[in-house]
Amino acid sequence: MGVDRETVRARLRALGFDEVRFARVEPGFGPGLSAWIEAGYHADMNWMERTVPKRSDPALVLPGARSVIMLGVNYLPPAGAGNAGGGAARPAWARYALYSDYHDTIKEALAAAGRVLEELGGGAVTPADYRYYVDTGPVIERGWAAKSGLGFIGKNAMLISRTHGNWLFLAAVLTTLEFEPDEPVRKEAAGRETEPGLLCGKCTRCMDACPTQALPRPGVVDARRCVSYQTIENKGIIPRELRAGIGHRIYGCDTCLEVCPWNRFAQAGRQVLLAARYGLADLPLREVLELTPERFAAVFKGTAIKRVKITGLLRNASIVAANTGAHECLGALVRLAGHVSPVVRAHAVWAVRKLGAADQLAEARAVETDPSVLAEYEATL
Ligand code: SF4
Ligand code: SF4
């Protein structure tokens, strides 16, 4: 089945993908991933343990897989949009979140990419010859992106493109088709193309700037300490010792991305495959803390943010209120100390105490029975 690589590249670019690169399938990501998991850096993301074999060998995901087509979509907002205009006075949202859920929008384009392969295969390519994922399957997108030369893995463990900096959504199409691989990004020393920090040189800005010291070694994230993990993946109590480091970050964390000097070449994305929701970044903190389930559903409909559910967002917002000294939010926080969710109550109690208004908690404390919340009343601040 001969399908011309450059025709595929041009057709997928025309669909709206900013980068289209090819890698040859070969096993080999397992050891690094296993070591990361053995160190406990994956926190409680136990699904990662279960999928190590598949993540290490695409042929276990798609029998007969020969190539990975790596796709990148630039999500850098125009200057002044989203968090770029706000500074520390407003809650900060990870930039990627200020769009309609990219899983949905990019998946549609991936389905179209599959149809392109079928069309170019002239009947010899069927849906059994490819599978696609956008953060949704057992594929190490960053690793394949580095292999395909889409970029290199920085000391912040992110894929860094020399064109788009740190601002790419990555998607992968595994296919039984054989394509000549693209060249990886190389340094002079051959064979080191996927080494973390390949083009970082002496720079350590990301590691130095991380507010919770979650980058113990170049290219290694300790999810247990990472604000992104804590504010999105963790569904429970956020460890007290990490809360100050969360600062004004209400959902995710862009710090180790935005300090990277490789962003200097990045231009705002074309947004062919993305639907901007930058207005979400304008929501005042107090309004977030006063969200009802109905309003939460309406405001965050169709975004990735709804994944944290209203409890996760109220929890995060409580931490931000305490960290930013938002006394105008005290009334809302005191109400949240009586919320139905113990996770919300625990963080609201912590925030009210941090804001120096423990006396306003007497009523909530009198009826509290949950040990995790009671612990927040007793904790040393
Ligand atoms: S996302 Fe934030 S908390 Fe996580 S490693 Fe990067 S800077 Fe640190
Ligand atoms: S901030 Fe510096 S060390 Fe970190 S990924 Fe970027 S270039 Fe590498």
Q: What is the pLDDT of residue 187?
A: 66
Q: Which residue has the tokens 């290490």?
A: 56
Q: Among 260, 263, 264, which is best to mutate for testing ligand 2, by the most ligand atoms less than 8 A from CB?
A: 260
Report which bound ligand comes closest to the CA of 160. Answer: 2
Catalytic residues: 135
Q: Provide the 3-class DSSP secondary structure of residue 215.
A: coil
Q: Provide the 3-class DSSP secondary structure of residue 338.
A: coil
Q: What is the pLDDT of residue 138?
A: 87
Q: Where is 321: in which H helix or E strand?
A: helix 309-323
Nearest CA to ligand 2 atom 4: 206
Q: Which residues of the chain have pLDDT under 50?
A: 85-86, 189-190
Q: Closest ligand 1 atom to the C-alpha of 225?
A: 3
Q: Is the dihedral of CA 349, 352, 358, 363 positive or negative?
A: negative
Cα 206 to averaged position of ligand 2 atoms, centre (Å): 6
Q: Closest ligand 1 atom to the C-alpha of 221?
A: 5
* Cα–Cα distance measured from residue 36 to residue 42, given in angstroms and rounded to the nearest whole number: 7
* Cα–Cα distance measured from residue 137 to residue 156, given in angstroms and rounded to the nearest whole number: 22
165 phi-psi bin (left φ>0, alpha ψ -120 to 50, beta other): left
Report which bound ligand comes closest to the CA of 232. Answer: 1
Q: Provide the 3-class DSSP secondary structure of residue 164.
A: coil
Q: How many separate helices (H) and strands (E) can be counted in the chain?
A: 17, 8
41 burial via Cβ count (<10 Å: 0-12, 13-18, 19+): buried
Please count the CA atoms within 13 angstroms of the CA of 44 that sit on its side-chain side: 7
Note the pLDDT tens digit of each residue in 146-173. Answer: 999 999 999 999 999 999 999 999 999 9
Distance spanning both ends of the chain, measured CA to CA: 66
Q: Is 166 in the pocket of ligand 2 (CB under 6 A)?
A: no
Distances (CA, A) of 194 to 48, 94, 153, 190: 21, 26, 7, 11
Q: What is the pLDDT of residue 190?
A: 46
Judge contact between 142 and 159, C-beta under 8 A: yes
The angle subtended at Cα 144 by Cα 170 and Cα 258, nearest 5°, is 45
Q: Among 226, 259, 260, which is best to mutate for testing ligand 1, by the most ligand atoms less than 8 A from CB?
A: 226
Task: Give Cβ neighbours of residue 127 (< 8 Å, ≥ 6 apart).
Answer: 114, 118
Report which bound ligand comes closest to the CA of 261. Answer: 2
Task: Give Cβ neighbours of residue 17 (< 8 Å, ≥ 6 apart).
Answer: 71, 72, 73, 109, 113, 171, 273
> What does the chain come to in residues?
381
Distances (CA, A) of 158 to 17, 206, 314, 323, 328: 19, 10, 28, 27, 37
Q: What is the pLDDT of residue 301?
A: 96
Nearest CA to ligand 1 atom 6: 256
Judge contact between 86 and 38, C-beta under 8 A: no
* Cα–Cα distance measured from residue 245 to residue 234, given in angstroms and rounded to the nearest whole number: 16
Q: What is the DSSP letter of 230?
A: I
Cα 301 to averaged position of ligand 2 atoms, centre (Å): 34
The angle subtended at Cα 151 by Cα 146 and Cα 157, nearest 5°, is 70
Cα 24 to averaged position of ligand 1 atoms, centre (Å): 31
* Cα–Cα distance measured from residue 131 to residue 111, given in angstroms and rounded to the nearest whole number: 9
Distances (CA, A) of 192 to 11, 153, 195, 199: 31, 11, 6, 11
Judge contact between 313 and 56, C-beta under 8 A: no
* Cα–Cα distance measured from residue 365 to residue 375, given in angstroms and rounded to the nearest whole number: 11
Nearest CA to ligand 1 atom 8: 210
Q: Which residue has the tokens 């001969």?
A: 2
